[in-house]
Chains A and B, each alone.
Chain A
Amino acid sequence: MLSKDKIKMIKGRKAQTADGLTWLVATLIIIVILIVFVSITNLLVETKDIERFVKGVFSSSDAEEVSKIDVKTTLAIGKNSNNQDAIERWVKNEP
């Protein structure tokens, strides 16, 4: 038969274990949140390379559409369209 003091001590240990578990879970949550934030930061740092970021966001066809240089070719073809196919191939750097 356990004495009253021993029973109190055992109950106190159980309370300490529960308390420790709470802190452990809290620590894990804090670490996970930090990892998420650090990962987001690293992703944001990648966007500082504008060229790669733009290529990643817009497809190459979109980039071609907004090419200011292509307008020059279109205007010139409007003035003289001889050899148009050869010109367009050269402009697109096709063989």
Chain B
Amino acid sequence: MDKTISIYWFAIITLVAIAIVYMVSAFYGAPYDIRANEAGLLANRVADCLSQKGEVSSFLFDSEGNMIGFNNDFEEKCGIVLSVEEIWTESQYYFYAGFFSLEDTQNPNYFYETGNLNLIPSCEVQKDKEFDNLAKCVEKRFYSTSGEKQYLIKILSVVRKTEKNVK
């Protein structure tokens, strides 16, 4: 009888141990997926860079008031660092900022894009859980002014970093 009980306890303890190992590995093995949050925060940062207090930032215009935009100095002007850890060889970000007029909301008067263009197709399928390994996109729209001029501004922010956010 004692031998049977010993075998029984061994089996139960093994079962409990397996369950504990599974639970710990399942919880700590799954990384926090913050790509959408990161993309949202970066879009907010870009929006702050483009427009302050309802007015488009003055550095985007020349002395005559014409929009000149960025001259490959987006990172410097907006204080955004797009470099990533060494595990990636390609950029893990993509940004698009488009300035539209009220007359033509399809074709931007001016747009600037930087980062990895290959990430854009991910945006169409990002809500499908099957494609969680692709990049996450956040699109934000707002309105801003510059004197009498009105600008509709669209920002698209894309973050990949799949390896660190998805198991």
Task: A68-B44, A76-B55, A79-B54 are known; give 15 further A-B pairs, CB within 8 A.
Answer: A23-B8, A31-B15, A37-B23, A41-B22, A41-B23, A48-B33, A69-B44, A69-B47, A72-B143, A76-B51, A78-B54, A79-B145, A87-B152, A91-B141, A93-B141
Interface assignment of A51: CB less than 8 Å from any CB of chain B: yes
Interface assignment of A61: CB less than 8 Å from any CB of chain B: no
Given the complex of chains A and B, what is the CA–CA distance between A45 and B12 in angstroms?
A: 25
Interface assignment of A34: CB less than 8 Å from any CB of chain B: yes
Which of the residues B19, B30, B47, B54 comes within 8 Å of A37, measured between beta carbons? Answer: B19
Given the complex of chains A and B, what is the CA–CA distance between A71 and B7 in angstroms?
A: 67
User: Which residues of B, 7-29, contact A by the 8 Å Cβ criterion?
Assistant: 8, 12, 15-16, 19, 22-23, 26-27
Residue pairs across A and B with CB atoms within 8 Å: the count is 95
* A81 CB to nearest chain B CB (Å): 10
User: Which residues of A, 58-95, contact B by the 8 Å Cβ criterion?
Assistant: 68-70, 72-73, 75-80, 82-83, 86-87, 90-93
Given the complex of chains A and B, what is the CA–CA distance between A82 and B145 in angstroms?
A: 11
User: Which residues of B, 127-149, contact A by the 8 Å Cβ criterion?
Assistant: 136, 140-145, 148
Given the complex of chains A and B, what is the CA–CA distance between A70 and B44 in angstroms?
A: 11
Given the complex of chains A and B, what is the CA–CA distance between A87 and B15 in angstroms?
A: 62
> A48–B150 contact, CB under 8 A?
no
> B12–A70 contact, CB under 8 A?
no
Q: Chain A residues with Cβ under 8 A from B43's Cβ?
A: 69
Q: Chain A residues with Cβ under 8 A from B5's Cβ?
A: 23
> A75–B53 contact, CB under 8 A?
yes
Interface assignment of B32: CB less than 8 Å from any CB of chain A: yes
* A89 CB to nearest chain B CB (Å): 9
Interface assignment of B107: CB less than 8 Å from any CB of chain A: no
Q: Chain A residues with Cβ under 8 A from B33's Cβ?
A: 48-51
Interface assignment of B36: CB less than 8 Å from any CB of chain A: yes
User: Which residues of A, 19-75, contact B by the 8 Å Cβ criterion?
Assistant: 23, 27, 30-31, 34, 37-38, 41-42, 44-45, 48-51, 68-70, 72-73, 75
